[in-house]
Chain A
Amino acid sequence: MDIEAARYIGAGLAMGLGAIGPGIGEGIAASKALEAIGRNPEASGKITPLMFVSMAITESTGIYALVVTMIILFA
Chain B
Amino acid sequence: MSLNISLSPEILFYLGTWPISNTFFWSVVVTVFLIIGSFFLRRSLRLIPGKFQNMIEILVEGGYDFVEGVVGDKTKAKRIFPLVFTMFFFIFFCNLLVYIPGQSAVTIQTAGGAVPLFRAIISDYGLVFMMTMISVLITQIVAIVVAGPWKYIGKFINLRSPLKCFLGIMDLIGELAKVMSLSFRLFGNIFAGEILGAVMLFLFPFFLPLPFLFLGLLTAVVQPFVFAVLTLVFISMASDISVPEEA
List the interface of chain A (C-beta within 8 A of B): 52-53, 56-57, 59-60, 63-64, 66-67, 70-71, 74-75
Contact = CB atoms under 8 A, between A and B. Distances in A.
Given A63-B185, A67-B191, A56 B222 contact: yes
B188 interface: yes
Given A63-B185, A67-B191, A56 B223 contact: yes
A29 B218 CA distance: 17
Contacts of A66: 188, 192
Contacts, number: 45
A59 B218 CA distance: 14
Nearest to A71: B7
A65 B187 CA distance: 12
A63 B188 contact: yes
Interface string B205-229: 0000000000000110011011001
Contacts of B191: 67, 70
B184 A67 contact: yes
Contact of A70 (B195, B218, B222): B195
B222 A60 contact: no
Nearest to B230: A57
Contacts of B192: 63, 66
